Amino acid sequence: MSTEQSTDTPMVEVRNVHKRFGDLEVLKGINLTVNRGKIISIIGPSGSGKSTLLRSVNHLEVIDEGAILLDGVQVNRPDMKGLAFERHINNIRQNMGMVFQHFNLFPHLSTIDNVTLAPRKLKGMDKKTARELGMEQLERVGLAEKADVFPNWLSGGQKQRVAIARALAMKPKVMLFDEATSALDPELVEEVNRVMRSLAEEHMTMLIVTHEMSFARDVSDWALFMDGGVVVEECTPDKLFSNPDQERTRNFLQKHLGNNH
Amino acid sequence: MDFDLMVEVTPLLIRAAWVTIDISSRAIFFGFFVACGLVFLQTFRFAPIRWFARGYISVIRGTPYFVQLLLVFYGGPSLGLRLDPITCGVVVGAFNIGAYMSEAIRGSIESVDKGQSEAARSLGFGKVQTMVSIVLPQAASLMIRSVGVLAIVLIKNSSLVSIISVVELTYQAQRLIGSTYKPLEIFTLSALMYIIIIYAVMGIIELAYRRATRYTTQ
């Protein structure tokens, strides 16, 4: 773990990013920096562009303007084409762990194979070393005993923890969480949050899109409120959740917290 | 019912049934490669190649197998394409089932959840690796049943190659009826043999399907 490195250097930089789907502009010039070892949460109503932003960082969405950098290396490269870009993006993605709302575990592979597939195929790790690494990651999320079962036999919370282990097995520089707990039954949310908290304690750099307000407040170093494709407000989570400057933020929080509590 | 006759002709019909199985299995085997080729052609960026594959599939699906068979066997020689009856049965069968199978394969690839390839890509897998390691293994289990149904249709349609005088089950039955005048006995026997073949194939498909999808049940 890159624990004690300087936290002033940016790990992820998003510079003036625009993204359009046809006529609809969903990201209207987003700027964002995640420093090494820091945790940033993005909240906002659905359709605000927060998931699109996160997916753009991983290049699952191709941005139309602007730049995204991971550890100083530009992710989007409009100047690169075809196989050259394919190689470039595959290398970049090996350093980014992505966790999806719907887990997206590979159902035809056992839990341990889900975790070890990428290290084996992409890093050429031999089976034995990969299994050790995989078991280590599964222990980290508390699921070592489920190593040899298929994902269909796991609960939603367990699936998501395996998905986190799968991403961690590539030793990523940053973890991206796209509403990791939104598809879970309420009683399963906490086990996933617990794993994410433990990553926070290990100073993993994280960019989190979430609906879990109290979790975002607890765990993040910085929080953003997005609406209509722009960052409406960003500040410390304490300020954002208790005393936001913007009217839109207040309205959103009122509605959201009002519905949930 | 003349049971003595039925016992007597059974070995002859069994031998003819092997021809049916032989022609059909070869057509299915080669048809699979035709299908994969057609699926591959449809991934090309260059549109005319895609149109060619789509056009071919439309023609095959829009014409009766019987006509395709007659066209190639009797029309082929005018274009210098002379095939012996068995080869013609295999080739037309392969190119026919290939068109249908390509649609089944394409459909099953497309029905693998998009999140699967996204997850693989996000880990750093390339397009080809994602296809080979993640999408195709899942598509394969989805396509077993639909491809199996096509195989069964092809086996039944193989009775049509009797028209170009391939001595398979139906042709042999007709021949025996010509000399014995017992259509009820002989067609009953040949129907029974088709049933045995078809249900054996259905059993194999079901076993393969269960094996391929055991990860969902365990």
Q: Which residues of A touch B115 (CB under 8 A)?
A: 100, 102, 104
Q: How close, in Å, is residue B154 to chain A by CA atoms? A: 30
Say which CATH topology domain B3-212 has.
MetI-like fold (1.10.3720)
Residues contacting residue B73 through CB under 8 Å, at least 6 positions apart = B83, B85, B88, B92, B164
The CA-atom distances, in angstroms, between B28 and each of B22, B95, B197 are: 10, 9, 14
Per-residue pLDDT at A261: 42
3-state secondary structure A126-164: CHHHHHHHHHHHHHHCCCHHHCCCCHHHCCHHHHHHHHH
Task: Return the H-helix or E-strand segment holding A205.
Answer: strand A205-209
Both tokens assigned to A165: 């282990």
Q: How close, in Å, is residue B201 to chain A by CA atoms? A: 25
Is the CB of residue A73 less than 8 Å away from at least one CB of chain B?
Answer: no
Ranges of residues in chain B whose predicted pLDDT is under 70: 217-218
Is the CB of residue A78 less than 8 Å away from at least one CB of chain B?
Answer: no
CB-based contact A100 B137, cutoff 8 Å: no
Is the CB of residue A67 less than 8 Å away from at least one CB of chain B?
Answer: no
Q: Which residues of A touch B133 (CB under 8 A)?
A: 117, 121
Chain centroid to CA B202: how far? 13
Map out the domains of chain B as residue ranges: 3-212
CB-based contact B119 A105, cutoff 8 Å: yes
Place of tokens 């624990």: A3
> Buried b vs exposed e over A217-234: b needs ≥16 C-beta within 10 Å?
bebbbbbbbbbebbbbbb
Is the CB of residue A183 less than 8 Å away from at least one CB of chain B?
Answer: no
- Contact in structure between A184 and A149 (CB atoms under 8 Å): no
Q: What is the largest CA-CA distance in chain A?
A: 56
Is the CB of residue A254 less than 8 Å away from at least one CB of chain B?
Answer: no
Place of tokens 């049933």: B195
Per-residue pLDDT at B214: 82
- Alpha carbons A30 and B4: distance in angstroms, whole number: 88
In a structure prediction context, what are the per-residue pLDDT tens digits for chain A, which is 261 residues long?
A: 444 445 678 999 999 999 999 999 999 999 999 999 999 999 999 889 999 999 999 999 999 999 999 999 999 998 998 899 999 999 999 999 999 999 999 999 999 999 999 999 999 999 999 999 999 999 999 999 999 999 999 999 999 999 999 999 999 999 999 999 998 888 899 999 999 999 999 999 999 999 888 899 999 999 999 999 999 999 999 999 999 999 999 999 988 876 444
Q: What ipTM score was computed for the predicted complex, to two decimals?
A: 0.90
The CA-atom distances, in angstroms, between A138 and each of A95, A157, A173, B179 are: 19, 13, 19, 74
Task: Return the H-helix or E-strand segment holding B105.
Answer: helix B85-110
Read off φ and ψ for residue A140, nearest 5 degrees: -55, -35
Both tokens assigned to B216: 């969902």
Residues contacting residue A17 through CB under 8 Å, at least 6 positions apart = A27, A29, A30, A31, A53, A56, A63, A65, A66, A67, A68
Q: Which residue of chain B is at minimal alpha-carbon distance from A92?
A: B124
DSSP assigned state of B65: H
